[in-house]
Amino acid sequence: EAGVAQSPRYKIIEKRQSVAFWCNPISGHATLYWYQQILGQGPKLLIQFQNNGVVDDSQLPKDRFSAERLKGVDSTLKIQPAKLEDSAVYLCASSPGGIAEAFFGQGTRLTVV
């Protein structure tokens, strides 16, 4: 079974530039998560989708971050404009739904200079 796919693996941008990350979840998984993980910390939830609807985006900085899930499958997370403090690993995870465990992709390491 294929896992969660993310791209790119690494991205370096200057502050005030924009960037987008892509995620393809495990086939059939209804729930998709985007997490931000700063070095030395645990993952922090940014947004959670159930199929193609948002169920929680309370910790998403909506003035600069946006996310969408197309047709309940792939998802993109965008940052515009980026700040230095956005430097982190962005993790995508998917779950069949309900109370099942989530499975993570390899993440995208973003460096803002």
Cross-strand bridge partners of residue 107: none
Q: Is 53 an interacting residue with respect to other proteins (CB under 8 A)?
A: no
Dist. CA 80–CA 95, nearest whole Å: 28
Cross-strand bridge partners of residue 11: 110
Q: Is 62 an interacting residue with respect to other proteins (CB under 8 A)?
A: no
Among 21, 23, 107, 112, binds other proteins (CB under 8 A): 107
Q: Is 22 an interacting residue with respect to other proteins (CB under 8 A)?
A: no
In the complex with other proteins, which residue's Cβ is closer, 55 or 113?
A: 55
Among 13, 20, 30, 45, binds other proteins (CB under 8 A): 45
Q: What are phi and psi of 51, to 5 degrees?
A: 55, -120
- Strands (DSSP E) found in the chain: 5-7, 10-13, 19-24, 31-37, 44-50, 53-56, 65-69, 75-79, 88-95, 103-104, 108-112
Among 79, 102, 110, 112, binds other proteins (CB under 8 A): 102
Q: Is 12 an interacting residue with respect to other proteins (CB under 8 A)?
A: no
CB of 24 to other proteins, least distance (A): 14
Q: What are phi and psi of 83, to 5 degrees?
A: -115, 165
Q: Is 33 an interacting residue with respect to other proteins (CB under 8 A)?
A: yes
Q: Is 44 an interacting residue with respect to other proteins (CB under 8 A)?
A: yes
